[in-house]
Amino acid sequence: MTIEEKLRDSFESQFAEPPYEFSFLRYGEDDAWPGHYANYTVQCAWEGYLAGALAVVPGEFK
């Protein structure tokens, strides 16, 4: 499991709970944005979460 997969699991478990209760439906491999969340707000939250996690220890996850 890659670090991004671990972080995605953490993100989804954290934001599935109240008060957020995000829907994690993602586009399929044949769609315009494969792997992205269908809800743009969730996609933006994921990108911010990922960037923040990767910035904690620069170079650690590259």
Nearest residue to 11 (alpha-carbon basis) of 30, 28, 1, 24: 24
Q: How many domains does the chain have?
A: 1
Please identify which residue in the block is written with the tokens 């315009």.
32
Please identify which residue in the block is written with the tokens 């997969």.
5
Asked whether residue 18 is assigned to any structural domain, the reply reads yes
> What distance in Å separates the CA atoms of residue 10 and residue 17, rounded to the nearest whole number?
12
Output the pLDDT for position 16: 97
Output the pLDDT for position 60: 60
| Mean pLDDT per 10-residue section of the chain, whose length is 62 residues | 92 96 96 95 97 78 57
Output the pLDDT for position 2: 87
Asked whether residue 61 is assigned to any structural domain, the reply reads no
Asked if the bond preceding 19 is cis, omega within 30° of 0, the reply is: yes
Contact 23, 39 (CB under 8 A): yes
The Cα diameter of the chain in Å comes to: 34
Asked whether residue 62 is assigned to any structural domain, the reply reads no
Output the pLDDT for position 54: 86
